[in-house]
Amino acid sequence: MNAFPQTIHFIGSNTPRRMEISVRDLEVEGEIPAEVNGAFFRAVPDNAHPPMFEDDIALNADGMVARFDIRNGAADFDIRYVGTDRYKAEKEARRALFGRYRNPFTDDPSVAGMDRTVANTTPVWHAGRLFMTKEDGLGHEINPHTLETVGKWDYNGALKSETFTAHPRIDPETGELFFFGYEAGGLCDPNVAYCIADKDGNLVSEQWFEQPYLSTIHDFVITEKYAIWPIFPTTADLERIKAGGAHWAHHQDMESWLGIMPRYGKVEEMKWIRGPKGVSVFHEVNAYDDGDLVHIDMCITDTNAFSFMREAGGIDIPQQEVKGSLVRWTVDMSKDEPAIEQHELGPPGDLPRLADANQGRAYRRAWYLSMNPQGGPPMLGGPVGANFNCLLRIEPGNRRIDMMGLPPGAAISEPAHVPSGEAGHDGWLLSVVDMPNNPDPSQQVPGDYSSELWVIDAGNVGAGPVAKVKTKLPLRSQVHGTWVSRAKLDTSVLKG
Ligand SMILES: [Fe+2]
């Protein structure tokens, strides 16, 4: 194949753009607050070549690292491919050599045994280094000033796990990085590696444990006392993969689980708690201790939100009929056999953002993306095929919700949070919004839009943006992003 398929994974905001560009001094409408000073790094999957298979999916695309660099109210934009083994091999061959999503048995024989990761999910900053991550491989270190790829990061050979999550958690007081890798020993290995790196980036702990079944563990949470793995019934099967099938299939009839252990303890201390059947979560907002109680807040759906994972499990539920909500799971750790109590906190949605300082602690507010039913049909694209069209700010304590809607047909990406130096100020949110070039919904053409970076008062999202940074380009959908302050950039290990 030498053309891109015209499926949901390659149209709308999933239209391949494939541009490595740098633009200085983007147009700014409004005023960027002076304290927004640093870099917003974004992970953008974007196929460098048409895929080998017509039914390929957006999650299988090469990782690009994008950056809005902001200072003194001005913004520059850069985007580069991550130099994975896979990207370099395909660039040399001028065509796709790697086949289906997380299935090495569908690859061109010339790349047998080669690292397949595309590093396309989350930029992670820790101990002065920037990494591009995807859960099926090691993180790739990126020079934060040049966006050049330095190489794979295995803690100078200390890390035994072959994988590194796209959702590690950093304790705001100790500066430690808590992370894990599932399929730690290779394809379909049931082991999970649980690791801690200290504030200086040294790997100080790595322990392996076996999960109840071979599931996709996309995210996890920490509290001041515990490390917690919520596990949902989307499972891998080596025989299916060997036959050329899907890596993941969801199962409505299987139970979910919570694995909870003291965060500085031994994996042998893990308590496994049974949860409801068939549900699915990709992102937790936060978790915290409340005496003996542990609260875990997360974006839950009644089945898997990805159609290709439902289809592989024989589940016939159209995307618009997937139900979900923001929920809190509470467990009482003083009990020998704790049970899960579930309470609803807010409407359906995903891509939550928490202030870094609130990680693992009781928190007053957080933000996530949702669908505004009054906002018209969503823009096609994004990982699940339909983009979110509103931003919510929620106070879990009193369930107060504020919303920032978008014009019809526009799409919003996961926000980054910039803390404010002003006491009592909620800080700022940065979010890329894709604006259709034609405001008339009946005339809009998929893929015809301009991407803008909106700067929003995080305490007053309903007021809309205080500034819009205009790229004048249609950027491909981002997955996750991260904010890195100027102070951190200035003390980075690698220099420009
Ligand atoms: Fe994620």
pLDDT tens, residue by residue, 42-54: 999 999 999 999 9
Burial level of 135, CB count in 10 A (0-12/13-18/19+)? buried
Phi, psi of 244, deg, nearest 5: 90, 10
41 phi-psi bin (left φ>0, alpha ψ -120 to 50, beta other):
beta
pLDDT tens-digit series, residues 207-246: 999 999 999 999 999 999 999 999 999 999 999 999 999 9
Q: Which of 398, 219, 181 is nearest to 296 (CA)?
A: 219
Q: How far is the CA of 29 from the centre of ligand 1 (A)?
A: 30
Q: How far is the CA of 434 from the centre of ligand 1 (A)?
A: 20
290 phi-psi bin (left φ>0, alpha ψ -120 to 50, beta other):
beta
- Spatial separation of the C-alpha atoms in residues 64 and 147, rounded to whole Å: 10
Q: How far is the CA of 50 from the centre of ligand 1 (A)?
A: 24
At which residue do the structure tokens 């005339």 appear?
443
- Spatial separation of the C-alpha atoms in residues 372 and 14, rounded to whole Å: 21
- pLDDT-derived band at 384, boundaries 50, 70, 90: confident
Q: How far is the CA of 110 from the centre of ligand 1 (A)?
A: 31
Tally of CB atoms within 10 A around 286? 24
Q: How far is the CA of 298 from the centre of ligand 1 (A)?
A: 12
pLDDT tens-digit series, residues 456-485: 999 999 999 999 999 999 999 999 999 999
Q: Does the pLDDT value for residue 382 go beyond 90?
A: no
Q: Is the dihedral of CA 465, 412, 459, 38 positive or negative?
A: negative
Q: How far is the CA of 251 from the centre of ligand 1 (A)?
A: 20
168 phi-psi bin (left φ>0, alpha ψ -120 to 50, beta other):
beta
Q: How far is the CA of 219 from the centre of ligand 1 (A)?
A: 7
Q: Does the pLDDT value for residue 263 go beyond 80?
A: yes
Q: How far is the CA of 344 from the centre of ligand 1 (A)?
A: 21
pLDDT tens-digit series, residues 168-192: 999 999 999 999 999 999 999 999 9
> What is the model's pTM?
0.98
Q: Which of 394, 438, 430 is nearest to 412 (CA)?
A: 430
Q: How far is the CA of 480 from the centre of ligand 1 (A)?
A: 7
**Chain centroid to CA 192: how far?**
19
Q: How far is the CA of 122 from the centre of ligand 1 (A)?
A: 7
Quick check: 76 and 69 in contact, CB under 8 A?
A: yes
